[in-house]
Chains A and B, each alone.
Chain A
Amino acid sequence: AQSVTQPDIHITVSEGASLELRCNYSYGATPYLFWYVQSPGQGLQLLLKYFSGDTLVQGIKGFEAEFKRSQSSFNLRKPSVHWSDAAEYFCAVAPSGGYQKVTFGTGTKLQVIP
């Protein structure tokens, strides 16, 4: 069965600092991978996704993620964090072609301090 682990429950960064949120997945083949963001009181919004091809994926709001098969990781990065990035971030995995069966991580809550 597929699974995804986000080891950091809560992260605090200063505005303007760089950010990396960790995500490790477990799946027998190359999965579909996603990062979603959830602002307070809102639903989840897709930041980026990886299906195949270039392992560095660009997303919205200046985010990027890199798929590393050898490490079973799909870490999310942003070079300079803005106060509006404060939210909860979810990594998710689905079987190739089976986007319906998405498994979400437990989320990482990002706090941004001025």
Chain B
Amino acid sequence: DAGVIQSPRHEVTEMGQEVTLRCKPISGHNSLFWYRQTMMRGLELLIYFNNNVPIDDSGMPEDRFSAKMPNASFSTLKIQPSEPRDSAVYFCASTSDDRNEQFFGPGTRLTVL
């Protein structure tokens, strides 16, 4: 089991640029979560998908953020345009209905200059 895979691990970009973060959940898992972790706000749920369908996106901060899950093995989180306040570590997690726990990826550390 390869675990949840996220790419890139580190991203440095300039304000105004588009940023795309990628996640491959654990095979067989049908729920996927995107979190953002900052010193000020801790770990926040941005959005979660079940069976590739967005179920709750109430944590998405604003229209600059969008997430997609085109199939069961891939999801993206896009920020366009990026701003310095978006600098954070973004985690992806996945699970299945019979597991009752979330499995986290290693995260993507995003720095927006």
- The count of chain A contact residues (Cβ–Cβ below 8 Å) is 20
User: Are A46's CB and B101's CB within 8 A?
Assistant: yes
Closest 9 CB pairs of A and B: A43-B104, A104-B43, A44-B104, A106-B42, A99-B100, A43-B106, A43-B105, A46-B101, A43-B107
Residue of A nearest to B106 (CB): A43
Q: Mark B74-102, 1 if CB is under 8 A from A, else 0.
A: 00000000000000000101010000111
Is B45 close to A, CB under 8 A? yes
Measured CB to CB, the residues of B under 8 A from A are 4, 31, 33, 42-43, 45, 48, 50, 55-56, 91, 93, 95, 100-107
Bound CA–CA A9/B31 (angstroms): 31
Interchain CB contact (< 8 A) of B42 among A41, A42, A99, A104: A104
- Smallest beta-carbon distance B90→chain A, Å: 11
Which residues of A are found within 8 Å of B48, using beta-carbon distances?
100
Interchain CB contact (< 8 A) of B102 among A42, A99, A105: A99
Measured CB to CB, the residues of A under 8 A from B are 32, 34, 36, 41-46, 49, 51, 90, 99-102, 104-107
- Smallest beta-carbon distance A108→chain B, Å: 12
Which residues of A are found within 8 Å of B95, using beta-carbon distances?
99
Bound CA–CA A41/B56 (angstroms): 27
- Smallest beta-carbon distance A61→chain B, Å: 16
Which residues of A are found within 8 Å of B100, using beta-carbon distances?
32, 49, 51, 99
Which residues of B are found within 8 Å of A44, using beta-carbon distances?
43, 91, 93, 104
